[in-house]
């Protein structure tokens, strides 16, 4: 059993250290992410080698109503909020302390790191960001570049060392940088002090008397110069260092190191670095990354002086040349020593407000910097109370919680704040927005130089470093203009930013006990967007969030992106990566970069539990180039400072930058600006991608079209309705009312009752036969009237064709005939059909229907072909075939396919049993022959070890092509099909949605299209159908259906799980039950499907959005490790957390659970297809439920049973309640009772056993690898 504990400690640490870069799917994994061995020692300073070990401390979020242990929280919390109604704290505690608080009745949740959703003489923009977002046209036509706007980047920090983005750092009226670090990483201690005797002539002299008390050492003068006496006769100087890796590593937040080398501060007694007080402060910057390409420690000696006023410290001088030698010492040949100079005199002094606060170094004087240690001037939250005894020196104007938000530079010289980004994610998001395109880069290693231009190069950036969930709210509120005064958030009168950009999310939502959209983080986002929600004068702030990278399944949008009021952004393709780096000379990627603007397979999709249309907009996510930090790992490195970026992490900042451009344009026209007006303009002017609302929202962001509207261009218009906010508010108000807002520092926390205009129409939760109405307003800004037709539409399947085949592994290309380089198995799209006669094999007519606006290609194969079930360890041996689509131009007419004749249109590659790719307007995408590539990944993979290097084998597959077009949607009625809008005026039209009486419970989607002569608006529409339960002993049976349609539908799930992805990956469905009989207090539910290899997880939410039951309870794993559910495998070298184990509690094709019902209202059943059999692209799901009343006598028996087993308390509760349901009309046989009893208990046991085996196998294989 100790090995099990070790496994879980490693597994959980890996969940904290989640990869932050955009996920590249399927066969685009080019190297294993085996963690590097980090060297914590340095040639500059000696530290205890045993200090950096995993410790027993973790960050926790603590909630409660009775603050009995006020002294405990004061001494141990990072920051917090308290009031008469309750309190909230973020604290770093030992596990024993956390358990003690739980036993006292406090709500304690372990904090966790965020998932960063994270590819002539005129210079060519390598990334096409400005071209695709059309910000280049907006700049050309209207002269807008984001000037005068400010964007908060909530991310991993930002490194401003690249000249393309240095200009974008936001500054205050003193020209000081504006940067926030609520994570508390960037504190640099400089409290070692050195006394210098300076005479009246300002000459430094040697001093033989005892130095003043409390000082560390002194200075001395020799013929070689002036030095800090660090060696002190050989014993060295001990110095305090801030541990920026705490609580992940290290036994405390401060540790000591010993310096032995004297450091030079002057050439002679007259020429030296001036200190008006004669007291020099010295510190060590100790920072770096524990993962990723920059996984290395950086050690920088830094001097702090008071150059103008005695005792007021104003200048830092980092010894970057010495640090560079130390950082690159691993590049030296054996026996060669780093050339440390320990000399501050040849370094550049850095002063706040100079505009040159960047810690950069040019090692070879070639005019290009090679080394970066961050940006000076960050305000850092003193998360661990390091400076609590320094409150007198904290700037009173900061009004921070408990005085813990530190100034950028302590006037007493004892610390300063530094902003860094060793992960690179936040730097890439910033560069996506603000890169000037001045630097040039050899992107494709062919000597041709490219520039990289952002969407809004003149926007300003405020970096907010928030790697932890618990710090995001602080960053949001501060950016939105709130200060914390006496434990309450108070609005300062103006937001600090115009836009907040989030390229991250939280996947493991069960740990928060609420689904995305109804969790506390999503609620706070919703309220922050909404004007007057927190204060009468609060105008709201536009918040943009990446949708996530967990597609292609539906319902995969996580939190906080599921907030109905924020702007969520999905991802589209941009094939500039073809020919770059690891994609070069790979036949499966083709030979051109010309195609773009298709939906990416990994882009997360709606709907969420609320049922409103999500995402809202789309933009580039696969992929683009961005300027990166200039930090090099090797002295002679020729690497240039750019990187391939992607995922919805890229899409979100493109939309944020587009908003900055839009705001500037609106200001020029003196128009009113608020978050909903901005969102409505962007959604009304987006380019239709011909996909469904839950995939694309309104479509691709088009800032040029948005500016056309703002400037009154003829034919442009926007659309919004008055009903969505009303319907959303009805659902969220009970959830918000349950939030103890005073406990988190708000006097007011509500959605306003006043009307809020929204382009998307969410028609609410309806029973079959009910109606929902909305009034739509059409705004015409032009000088001419416009005539608009209104038609409700939905995507409908025209036809579906199939082809069955068997993969041929490791085929080689005739041109790129190199070892390890393989081609896909090619199939002409015209062959994707059933051949009933021999002549049909030679029929190559255009396979795409003329009226098709969307094509979806799928490849599916059996689970047995995907995973080797005979392996000793679950998920230790699996293989896939990924999917490609090309435009093939047979240039030499030899009828032979070669990679240089292929242009990649789109691709898909998830580590599951079904692949999916989409193509908009497929008839317009091919100049030559449409060609499908089925690529068998040449080697087999392990969930635990990555690439096993074992050759893959062939597998049978089915390739299908589904063709769709928009057809009239009969559920919506318009009072008028044609509307005339006068010049510079508005018109309204009433719409009514009538829910058909034969619809089963679930979510339904479609569009309202408003079409004029020159412009079309796609308004996403969705509504929820609830199942009425108005009598005790009601039985509900919802039959599943086998569907050829791979779009979102009810009664089935599609194959979409991905072992390499995140927790949200898979396919999700929702069922809604409207309980109207107060006597009902329980429900027994059975879900069934058809394939033994499919697995379904179930979560049930009460009317307040709280998870009250699940068939995969986390049990002890959740209690001790914050495991979201029993079936989850955690993260690994291979996976970001998308792996699941089949937990069965009845039989292989069904699951049962008991649900406690304690009030009337809507109970929501959320199902998750974690594994999929692969027999087809979809699989029917049947639900049977019994709603009844359990007597008090049975409740008492149940209570006694619970007390007999404390370890499996939750599981026992589920088992016994379900077992004793008296009415067996739905599930009457003994197998139901025994199934759930045995299933839950044995399932937990199997989970422990399997993970124990995994750990053993993992150790064995690691020993073989190393």
Can you give the pLDDT at residue 306?
98
β-strand 482-485 against 488-491: which pairing, if any? antiparallel
Encode burial over 790-807: b for 16+ CB neighbours within 10 A, e otherwise: bbbbbbebbebbbbebeb
The SS3 assignment for 811 reads strand
Nearest Cα residue to 970 out of 936, 1012, 925, 1004: 1004
* 650 & 555 share domain: yes
Domain end, chosen from 916, 939, 967, is at 967
Instruction: Count CB atoms within 10 A of the CB of residue 741.
Output: 21
CA dist 1225 and 1202 (Å) reads: 27
> Looking at residue 1239, what is its pLDDT?
40
Residue 688 near residue 468 (C-beta atoms within 8 A): no
Average pLDDT of the chain, as a whole number: 87
Task: Let me know whether 514 and 423 are in one domain.
Answer: yes
961 lies in the same domain as 829: yes
CATH of residue 521's domain is 3.40.50.200
* 1069 lies in the same domain as 1183: yes
Share of the chain above pLDDT 70, in %: 83
Q: Residues 1138-1165: pLDDT tens digits?
A: 899 999 899 999 999 999 999 999 999 9
Handedness of CA 128, 131, 135, 141 (dihedral sign): positive
Which run of H or of E encompasses 526?
helix 520-529
- Domain shared by 958 and 1098, yes or no: no
Identify whether the C-beta of residue 298 lies closer than 8 Å to the C-beta of residue 285.
yes
Cβ neighbours around 534 below 10 Å, total: 25
Residue 1251 pLDDT: 40
**pLDDT at residue 1257 is higher than 50:** no
959 and 1034 share a domain? no
Task: Return the closest-CA partner of residue 476 out of 689, 744, 294.
Answer: 744
* DSSP single-letter state for residue 1175: S
Total number of domains in the chain: 3
Residue 502 to residues 157, 505, 653, 713: CA-CA distances in angstroms?
A: 12, 8, 8, 32
* 3-class DSSP assignment, residue 290: coil
Best CA proximity match to 700, nearest among 684, 685, 681, 687 = 687
On whether residue 475 sits in a domain, the answer given is: yes
Flag whether 202 is in a domain: no
1115: left (phi over 0), alpha (psi -120 to 50) or beta: left
d(CA 379, CA 416): 8
Q: What is the pLDDT of residues 1202-1244, one digit of tens each?
A: 323 322 233 333 232 323 233 333 333 334 344 434 344 434 4
Q: Which of the residue ranges 80-89, 297-306, 521-530 would you say has the lowest mean pLDDT? A: 80-89
Q: Do 1061 and 939 sit in the same domain of this protein?
A: no
- Can you tell me the distance from the alpha carbon of 362 to that of 855, in angstroms, rounded to the nearest whole number? 52
The full DSSP string for 165-191 is TGGGB-B-TTS-B--EETT---EEE--
pLDDT in tens, 4-60: 332 333 233 333 323 333 444 566 654 444 455 677 889 999 998 778 766 666 666
Q: Indicate whether 1158 belongs to any domain.
A: yes
pTM of the predicted model as reported, rounded to 2 decimal places:
0.89
Give the bridge partners for 500, in sequence order: 152, 543
List, in sequence order, every beta strand (DSSP E) within 1172-1248: 1178-1180, 1182-1188
Determine, yes or no, domain membership for 79. Answer: no
| Residue 390, helix vs strand vs coil | helix
**CA triplet 139, 142, 143: central angle to 5 degrees?**
55
Output the CA–CA distances (angstroms, integers) from residue 246 to 55, 59, 299, in the order listed: 9, 10, 16
| pLDDT the model gives residue 78 | 52
Domain end among 619, 639, 655: 655
Supply φ then ψ for residue 665, to 5 degrees: -65, -40
- Residue 1125's pLDDT band (cuts 50, 70, 90): very high
Q: Which helix (H) or strand (E) holds 1159?
A: none
Angle at CA of residue 1163, ends 1159 and 1164, nearest 5°: 165
Whether the Cβ atoms of residue 1261 and residue 13 lie closer than 8 Å to each other = no
Region 978-989: what's the mean pLDDT? Answer: 98
1231 DSSP 8-state letter: H
**Range(s) of the domain holding residue 540:** 116-191+244-251+310-655
- Say how far apart CA 77 and CA 88 lie, in whole Å: 10
pLDDT (average), residues 268-294:
93
Query: Is residue 1002 in some structural domain?
Result: no
Residue 1153 and residue 1228 in one domain: yes
Q: Do 1094 and 1168 lie in a common domain?
A: yes
Query: CA dist 1036 to 609, 1030, 1073, 1181, Å?
Result: 21, 11, 10, 14
| More confident call, 1229 vs 670 | 670
Q: Which residues pair with 409 in a beta bridge?
A: 416
Angstrom distance (rounded) from CA 1097 to CA 1113: 10
Pairing between strand 150-155 and 460-465? Answer: parallel
Contacts of 341 (CB under 8 A, 6+ apart): 264, 319, 321, 322, 325
Q: Tell me, yes or no, whether 945 and 1053 share the same domain.
A: no
Rounded Cα–Cα distance for residues 179 and 34 (Å): 33
859 found inside a domain:
yes
Q: Which of 900, 887, 891 has its CA nearest to residue 927?
A: 887
Query: Is residue 1093 over pLDDT 90?
Result: yes
The reply to whether 1174 and 1035 lie within a common domain is: yes
Domain end position, chosen among 608, 634, 655: 655
CATH of the domain at 1169: 2.60.120.380
Q: Residue 763 belongs to what H/E stretch?
A: strand 761-766
Structure confidence by residue, pLDDT tens digits, 447-469: 789 999 999 999 999 999 998 87
**pLDDT tens digits, one per residue of 399-413:** 233 347 899 999 999
Residue 493, by phi and psi: left (phi above 0), alpha (psi -120 to 50) or beta?
left
Smallest Cα–Cα separation from 833: which of 970, 731, 963? 963
User: Using an 8 Å Cβ cutoff, are 951 and 810 in contact?
Assistant: yes
Contact present, 247 and 183 (Cβ < 8 Å): no
Q: What is the pLDDT of residues 358-377, one digit of tens each?
A: 999 999 999 999 999 999 99
Taking CA atoms, 40 is separated from 18, 53, 650, in Å, by 21, 10, 33
**How many Å apart are CA 1153 and CA 1232, to the nearest integer?**
10
User: Can you spell out the DSSP letters for 76-130?
Assistant: HEEEEEEETTEEEEEEEEEHHHHHHHHHTT-EEEE--BPEE-----SPEESS-HH
Answer yes or no: do 896 and 827 share one domain.
Answer: yes
Residue 967, classified by CB atoms within 10 Å of its CB into exposed (0-12), middle (13-18) or buried (19+), is middle
How large is the average pLDDT for residues 897-919?
97
Residue 102 lies in a domain: no
> Does residue 1229 lie within any of the structural domains?
yes
Instruction: State the pLDDT at residue 123.
Output: 47
What number is the average pLDDT over the span 764-791? 98
How far is residue 1119's CA from residue 1121's CA, in Å, rounded to a whole number? 6
């Amino acid at each position: 059993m100790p090995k099990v504990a070790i496994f879980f400690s490693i597994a959980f640490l890996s969940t904290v250290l989640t990869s932050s870069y955009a996920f590249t799917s399927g066969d685009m994994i080019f190297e294993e992410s085996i963690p590097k061995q980090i060297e914590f020692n340095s040639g500059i300073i000696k530290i205890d080698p045993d200090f950096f070990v995993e410790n027993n401390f973790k960050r926790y979020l603590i909630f409660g109503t009775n603050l009995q242990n006020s002294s405990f929280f004061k001494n141990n919390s990072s920051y917090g909020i308290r009031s008469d109604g309750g309190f909230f704290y973020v604290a770093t505690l030992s596990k024993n302390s956390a358990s003690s608080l739980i036993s006292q009745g406090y709500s304690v949740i372990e904090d966790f790191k965020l998932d960063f959703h994270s590819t002539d003489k005129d210079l060519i923009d390598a990334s096409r960001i400005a071209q695709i977002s059309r910000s280049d046209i907006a700049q050309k036509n209207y002269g807008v570049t984001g000037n005068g706007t400010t964007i908060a980047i909530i991310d991993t920090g930002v490194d401003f060392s690249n000249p393309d983005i240095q200009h974008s750092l936001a500054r205050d009226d003193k020209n000081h940088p504006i940067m926030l670090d609520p994570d508390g990483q960037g504190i640099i201690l400089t409290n070692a002090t050195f006394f210098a005797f300076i005479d009246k002539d300002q000459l430094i002299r040697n001093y033989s008397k005892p130095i003043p008390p409390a000082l560390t050492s002194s200075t001395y003068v020799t013929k070689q110069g002036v030095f800090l006496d660090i060696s002190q006769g050989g014993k060295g100087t001990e110095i305090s260092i801030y541990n920026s890796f705490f609580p992940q590593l290290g036994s405390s937040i401060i540790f000591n190191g010993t310096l032995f080398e004297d450091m030079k501060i002057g050439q002679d007694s007259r020429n030296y670095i001036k200190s008006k007080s004669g007291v020099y402060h010295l510190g060590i910057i100790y920072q770096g990354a524990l993962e990723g390409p920059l996984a290395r420690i950086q050690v920088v000696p830094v001097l702090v002086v008071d150059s103008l006023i005695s005792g007021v410290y104003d200048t830092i001088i980092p010894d970057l040349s010495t640090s560079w030698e130390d950082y690159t010492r691993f590049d030296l040949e054996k026996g060669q020593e780093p050339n440390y100079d320990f000399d501050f005199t040849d370094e550049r002094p850095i002063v706040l407000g100079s505009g040159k606060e960047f810690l950069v170094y040019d090692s070879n004087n070639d005019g290009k910097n090679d080394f970066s240690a961050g940006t000076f001037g960050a305000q850092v939250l003193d998360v661990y109370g390091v400076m609590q005894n320094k409150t007198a020196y904290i700037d009173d104007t900061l009004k921070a919680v408990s005085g813990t938000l530190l100034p950028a530079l302590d006037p007493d010289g004892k610390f300063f704040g530094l902003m860094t980004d060793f992960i690179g994610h936040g730097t890439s998001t910033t560069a996506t927005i603000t890169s000037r395109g001045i630097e040039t880069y050899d992107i494709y290693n062919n000597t041709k130089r490219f520039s990289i231009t952002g969407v809004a190069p003149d926007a300003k950036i405020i970096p907010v470093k928030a790697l932890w969930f618990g710090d995001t709210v602080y960053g949001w509120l501060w950016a939105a203009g709130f200060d914390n005064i006496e434990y309450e958030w108070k609005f300062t009168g103006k937001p600090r930013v115009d836009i907040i950009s989030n390229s991250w999310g939280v996947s493991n939502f069960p740990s928060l006990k609420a689904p995305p959209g109804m969790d506390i983080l999503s609620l706070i986002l919703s309220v922050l967007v909404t004007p007057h929600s927190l204060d009468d004068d609060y105008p709201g702030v536009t918040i943009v969030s990446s949708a996530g990278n967990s597609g292609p399944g539906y319902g995969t949008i996580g939190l906080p992106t599921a907030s109905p009021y924020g702007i969520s952004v999905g991802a589209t393709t941009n094939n500039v990566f073809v020919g770059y780096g690891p994609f070069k000379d790979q036949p499966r990627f083709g030979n051109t970069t010309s195609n773009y603007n298709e939906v990416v397979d990994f882009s997360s999709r709606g709907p969420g539990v609320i049922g409103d249309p999500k995402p809202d907009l789309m933009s580039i996510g696969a992929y683009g180039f961005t300027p990166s930090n200039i930090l090099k790992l090797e002295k002679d490195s020729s690497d240039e400072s750019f990187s391939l970026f992607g995922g919805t992490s890229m899409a979100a900042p493109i939309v944020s930058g587009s908003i900055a451009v839009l705001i500037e344009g609106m200001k020029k026209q003196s128009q009113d600006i608020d978050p909903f007006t901005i969102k409505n303009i962007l959604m009304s002017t987006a380019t239709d991608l011909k996909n469904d609302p839950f995939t694309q929202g309104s479509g691709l962001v088009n800032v040029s079209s948005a500016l056309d509207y703002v400037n009154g261009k003829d034919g442009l218009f926007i659309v919004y309705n008055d009903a969505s906010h009303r319907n959303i508010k009805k659902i969220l108000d009970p959830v918000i009312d349950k939030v103890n807002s005073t406990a988190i520092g708000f006097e007011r926390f509500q959605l306003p009752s006043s009307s809020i205009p929204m382009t998307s129409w969410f028609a609410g939760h309806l029973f079959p036969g009910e109606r929902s109405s909305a009034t739509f307003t059409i705004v015409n800004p032009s000088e001419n009237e416009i005539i608009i037709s209104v038609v409700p539409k939905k995507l409908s399947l025209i036809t579906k064709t199939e082809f069955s085949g068997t993969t041929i592994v490791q085929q080689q290309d005739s041109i790129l005939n190199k070892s390890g380089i393989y081609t896909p198995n090619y199939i002409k799209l015209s062959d994707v059909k059933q051949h009933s006669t021999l002549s049909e094999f030679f029929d190559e007519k255009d396979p795409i229907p003329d009226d098709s606006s969307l094509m979806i290609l799928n490849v599916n194969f059996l689970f047995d072909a995907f995973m080797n079930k005979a392996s000793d360890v679950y998920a230790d041996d699996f293989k896939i075939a990924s999917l490609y689509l090309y435009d093939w131009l047979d240039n030499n007419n030899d009828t032979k396919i070669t990679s240089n004749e292929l242009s990649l249109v789109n691709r898909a590659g998830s580590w599951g049993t079904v692949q999916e790719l989409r193509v908009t307007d497929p008839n317009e995408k091919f100049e030559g022959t449409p060609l499908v590539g089925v690529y068998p990944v040449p080697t087999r993979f392990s969930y635990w070890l990555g690439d096993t290097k074992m050759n893959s084998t062939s597998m049978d597959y089915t390739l299908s092509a589904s063709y769709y077009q928009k057809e009239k949607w009969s559920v919506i009625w318009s009072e008028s099909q044609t509307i005339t809008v006068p010049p510079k005026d508005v018109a309204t039209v009433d719409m009514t949605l009538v829910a058909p009486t034969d619809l089963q419970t679930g979510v339904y989607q479609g569009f309202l299209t408003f079409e004029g002569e020159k412009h079309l608006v796609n308004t996403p529409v969705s509504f929820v159908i609830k199942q009425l339960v108005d009598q005790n002993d009601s039985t509900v049976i919802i039959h599943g259906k086998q569907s050829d349609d791979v779009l979102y539908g009810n009664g089935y799930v599609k194959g979409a799980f991905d072992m390499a992805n995140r927790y949200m990956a898979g396919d999700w469905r929702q069922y809604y039950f409207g309980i109207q009989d107060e006597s009902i207090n329980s429900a027994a539910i059975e879900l069934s499907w058809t394939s033994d290899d499919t697995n379904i997880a179930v979560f049930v939410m009460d009317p307040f959005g709280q998870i009250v039951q699940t068939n995969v309870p986390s049990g002890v794993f959740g209690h001790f490790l914050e495991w979201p559910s029993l079936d989850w495998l955690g993260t690994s070298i291979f996976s970001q957390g998308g792996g699941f184990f089949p937990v069965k509690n009845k039989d292989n094709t069904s699951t049962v659970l008991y649900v406690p019902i304690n009030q009337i209202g809507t109970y929501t059943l959320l199902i998750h297809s974690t594994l999929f059999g692969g027999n087809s692209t979809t699989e029917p799901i049947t639900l049977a439920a019994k709603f009844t009343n359990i007597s008090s006598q049975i409740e008492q028996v149940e209570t006694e049973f619970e007390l007999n087993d404390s370890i499996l308390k939750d599981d026992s509760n589920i088992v016994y309640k379900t077992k004793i349901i008296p009415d067996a009309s739905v599930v009457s046989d003994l197998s139901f009772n025994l199934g759930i009893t045995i299933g839950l208990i044995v399932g937990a046991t199997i989970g422990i056993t399997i993970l124990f085996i995994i750990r053993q196998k993992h150790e064995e294989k690691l020993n073989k690898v190393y």
